[in-house]
Amino acid sequence: MANQHGTSQQLTAPLLPGKKREHLPLAPLYGVSLIRTTAFAVAMVPAFNLRVAALAELAGHDAAAAASLMGLITALRSLAEFVAAPLLAVWSDRAGRRRVLLASGLAFVMECALLAISQSLLVLGAVHAACGILASGGAVETSCIADATPAGPRRAVAVGRFFTVIGFALVIGPALGGALLARYGSSAPFAFAGVLAGIGLIATAFLLPEYLPASSRAQAKRRDSDSHASSSLLALLQRTPPLRWLVAASALCGLGQALFGTTNVLWMKAAFGWDGQDVGRFFAALGVGVILSQVFVLPWLLNAAKGRESLVLQVALLSNAFKFVGYSLAPSGGWLYAVLCISVPTFCAGPVLSSLCTRHVPATQQGLWSGSMSALNTAANVLGALVGSRLFAVALRGFLPLGAPLVAGAACYALATVCVAHASHLGHADAKKCEDSKLIDPEMPDDNISGA
């Protein structure tokens, strides 16, 4: 399974510069994303992992070798996304979000068709890795949300709704791909996902508006080169210390998730003897947890914290660390559901972290930013896939506990919490410095004030 998610610091200024522009509704984006993400979940959660395990067994490989192969395939896919993400981001800033989403959707339709007819590990892995070149990974969708919402809690809620869509897809997709369609053969989930992805492609072409205004696209086209854009982004990081620490936190989150996510299906099979139906039910429960977190928990946390997103994020990241430790100590599969129920706030981390980062990024670089963050996360996925699969393979041979990848992931989330706390401290210090400067020079503009 796979797997997202945009130079001045303007907290109070309008998101889109120039002439006032009516924000486009996000409902079409959520609807199209639901179709596309459900198709992805049908094909990848857990159907792809189980297909790799089955083909590895037919080829005479043991479970440890299958885990290593799964890690290699996932790493190659992430590497392709790492190379392509910045290019897709720059393309979306220049040509618009909609064209990139159309290309990405078409690539996934082709991937599903090829996976449905693949009968060898080599072909399966090659197709999955190659099609990562046009995988948006949620970065373009996040850019659309940044285009259509102002920075702050409203954007966090909007991103949270996108995560709710992902939650619905995780409820529907695994149940279809892992439990129902798998009964009709290992190719059935991929064939069905291809049809569903085709419907999503048509919906993208006819229903999805272009969220990036023409003025922003024209400004992006006037950049000298991609390297110039990259240097501008680097300059943004250099003069925005809180953003650097938030980026570090994002990388650690990606690494922590990948350490376990690459082999989670194989871990459940080895630890509890679960089959495709058991895994599908658990991922459906994960989807329910995502929905509950975005619809109820995130708004409540933001309200209780009085808009202090950094505090909410630290709570969510710590919850992730404890959740992974809880999974690793579970004596039976039923305990996974118990740990999941008490760790629902973990799913609030993604939208809040995205919101905190994008508030430091101007509208004309939201696509570039989202693509850069996607590239960073895919780089973390490459490392996490290789290390996590290796840890699990060593554990299967009896040299480490089976939960070793989970414990390593928990450590990453704990370190991410420290990074966010430091970013918050730097943000408050910068804000106080700007306030003190305004006491001396009342003409200083408010948009110099930044915070994490």
- Give the residue, 223 or 184, on which the prediction is more confident: 184
Map residue 352 onto helix, strand or coil. helix
Specify if 221 maps to a domain: no
Map residue 118 onto helix, strand or coil. coil
Total structural domains within the chain: 1
Read off the pLDDT of each residue in 412-438 and give the average, rounded to a whole number: 82
Return the biggest CA–CA distance within the chain: 75
First to last CA, the chain: 32
Residue 23, pLDDT > 90, answer no
Express each pLDDT in 180-200 by its tens digit: 777 787 789 999 999 999 999
Residue 227, pLDDT > 60, answer no
Which helix (H) or strand (E) is 145 found in, with range? helix 139-148
Specify if 270 maps to a domain: yes
Express each pLDDT in 258-299 by its tens digit: 999 888 989 999 999 998 788 888 988 998 998 999 889 989
Mean pLDDT across the chain: 83
Map residue 450 onto helix, strand or coil. coil
Looking at residue 179, what is its pLDDT?
64
pTM score of the predicted model = 0.73
Peptide bond into 46 cis (omega under 30): yes
Tokens of 271: 């630890």
Tokens of 116: 């449905």
d(CA 381, CA 384) in angstroms, rounded, equals 5
Specify if 71 maps to a domain: yes
Tokens of 308: 């202090």
Express each pLDDT in 292-333 by its tens digit: 998 899 899 988 988 789 999 999 999 999 999 999 999 999
Q: How confident is the model at residue 216 (pLDDT cuts 50, 70, 90)?
A: confident
Q: How confident is the model at residue 340 (pLDDT cuts 50, 70, 90)?
A: very high
Looking at residue 49, what is its pLDDT?
86
Say which amino acid occupies 391.
L
Torsions phi, psi for 146 (to 5 deg): -65, -35
Share of the chain above pLDDT 90, in %: 44
Express each pLDDT in 58-97 by its tens digit: 888 888 888 899 999 988 998 888 888 778 877 888 888 9
Express each pLDDT in 108-128 by its tens digit: 999 999 999 988 899 999 999
Angle at 99 between CA 169 and CA 234, to 5 degrees: 90
Looking at residue 8, what is its pLDDT?
31
Residue with tokens 């918050």: 424
Classify burial at 442, counting beta carbons within 10 Å of its beta carbon; exposed 0-12, middle 13-18, buried 19 or more: exposed
Q: How far is CA 235 from CA 8, 30, 204, 356, 357, in A?
A: 10, 33, 35, 18, 15
Specify if 432 maps to a domain: yes
Contacts of 364 (CB under 8 A, 6+ apart): 17, 93, 216, 219, 220
d(CA 45, CA 382) in angstroms, rounded, equals 19
Read off the pLDDT of each residue in 166-188 and give the average, rounded to a whole number: 81
- Give the residue, 427 or 223, on which the prediction is more confident: 427
Specify if 215 maps to a domain: no
CATH number, residue 66: 1.20.1250.20
Tokens of 339: 């740990």
Q: How confident is the model at residue 19 (pLDDT cuts 50, 70, 90)?
A: very low
Q: Of 108, 172, 109, 105, whose CA–CA distance to 141 is shortest?
A: 105
Residue 450, pLDDT > 50, answer no
Q: How far is CA 15 from CA 145, 150, 151, 236, 421, in A?
A: 11, 5, 7, 17, 26
Residue 344, pLDDT > 90, answer yes
Segments forming the whole domain that contains residue 369: 27-203+230-448
Specify if 20 maps to a domain: no
The neighbour count for residue 435, using CB atoms within 10 Å, is 12
Express each pLDDT in 381-422 by its tens digit: 889 988 999 999 999 999 999 999 999 999 999 999 999 999
Contacts of 126 (CB under 8 A, 6+ apart): none
Residue with tokens 């909007």: 158
- The DSSP annotation for 274-305 comes to --HHHHHHHHHHHHHHHHHIIIIIHHHHHHHT
Specify if 322 maps to a domain: yes
Q: How confident is the model at residue 452 (pLDDT cuts 50, 70, 90)?
A: very low
Map residue 213 onto helix, strand or coil. coil
Residue 17, pLDDT > 70, answer no
Specify if 367 maps to a domain: yes
Residue 438, pLDDT > 70, answer no
Looking at residue 444, what is its pLDDT?
41
Read off the pLDDT of each residue in 233-262 and give the average, rounded to a whole number: 89
Q: By the 8 A CB rule, do 90 and 96 touch?
A: no
d(CA 132, CA 112) in angstroms, rounded, equals 12
Q: Per 3-state DSSP, what percentage of the chain is helix, strand, and coil (rounded to 5)?
A: 80, 0, 20
Torsions phi, psi for 136 (to 5 deg): -75, -30
Looking at residue 432, what is its pLDDT?
67
